Amino acid sequence: MDYKNILIENNDGVVTLIVNRPHALNALNMETISEIGVFFTEDYKTIQNLKGVIITGAGEKAFVAGADIKEFLGIESPEAGSALARNGHDVFNIIEKFHKPTIAAVQGFCLGGGFELALACHMRIAGEKAKFSFPEVNLGLLPGFNGSQRLPMLVGKAKAFELLMTTDMIKAEEAVKLGLANHVVPQGEEISKATEIIEKIATKAPLAIAEIIKTVNAYQDKNSDGTEQEIASFGQLMTTKDFEEGTSAFIEKRKAEFTGE
């Protein structure tokens, strides 16, 4: 698909999806969300040997400065607003459930819907100038892309209340302390750190990585039983060629060559 709002760069299977609306600090309009959805449901299949996806924003100033405020107006009924929210939920859930690692490389402002996009990723790398905030209540809103649920999972309920109700801006170091970001790196090195992590994961058994994603996500999912998911995933992995290869390689004192079978 030809995208208008995102760029896709493929670096030997490590894909960087760039939200490319720098004139609006990469704010997410509905078209951008839909293009992200097309990439994660369809277009990723065209990438050979996909190792993982890094999501970032164009330019140095912002990862994503929220949903596009200029698109909010004109929604005429609660049902229409809820339908838009559900659409965003669906796309962000696909990112969270993606079978390969997804990492947000956050430089500059990471606000509102942008913060929610970063929270939908499996991990977050913060540049030292990254700034995180949920400003929704300044606009008379609350997060509409599941941020009110993902945030307390990471920081606990009390801190989530504080961040959502005060709109306080958090810097990179504090984001790591709170468990929101995995690492802080010098500004400009967010993508290289994310690439390093994805390349490391790519040396592991791919089916096991996919089952880790399912199982850890089940921990957060009120409709799933994470313990049962782990037991089922464990059973499935024990019958894979990758399991045979991993154990044989250990016994033969050589590096495993996984095929994802």
Q: Catalytic residue at 96?
A: no
Out of 85, 154, 176, 249, the only residue in the binding site for ligand DAK (CB under 6 A) is 85
Identify any residues that bridge with 125 across adjacent strands, giving them in sequence order.
105, 183
Closest approach, Cβ 218 to ligand DAK, in A, equals 25
Is residue 111 a contact point for ligand DAK (CB under 6 A)? yes
Rounded-to-integer distance, Cα 208 and Cα 227, Å: 16
The identity of residue 7, as a single letter, is L
Q: Quick one: which of 21, 88, 97, 92 has its CA closest to 59?
A: 21
Is residue 69 a contact point for ligand DAK (CB under 6 A)? yes
Looking at 34-42, 84-92, 171-179, 208-216, which segment touches ligand DAK (CB under 6 A)?
Answer: 84-92
Looking at 12-20, 104-112, 201-209, 211-219, which segment touches ligand DAK (CB under 6 A)?
Answer: 104-112
Task: Check: CB of residue 69 under 8 Å from CB of residue 139.
Answer: yes
The total number of residues shown for the chain amounts to: 261
Out of 67, 106, 202, 209, the only residue in the binding site for ligand DAK (CB under 6 A) is 67
Is residue 175 a contact point for ligand DAK (CB under 6 A)? no
Task: Check: CB of residue 106 under 8 Å from CB of residue 118.
Answer: yes
Check residue 9 and give left, alpha or beta (phi > 0: left; psi -120 to 50: alpha): beta
Q: Catalytic residue at 116?
A: yes
Active-site pick, 136, 162, 174, 230:
136
Rounded-to-integer distance, Cα 122 and Cα 43, Å: 20
Residues annotated as catalytic (active site), given as ranges: 116, 136
Binding site for ligand DAK (CB under 6 A): 24-25, 27, 65-70, 72, 81, 84-85, 88, 109, 111-113, 135-136, 139, 141, 144-145
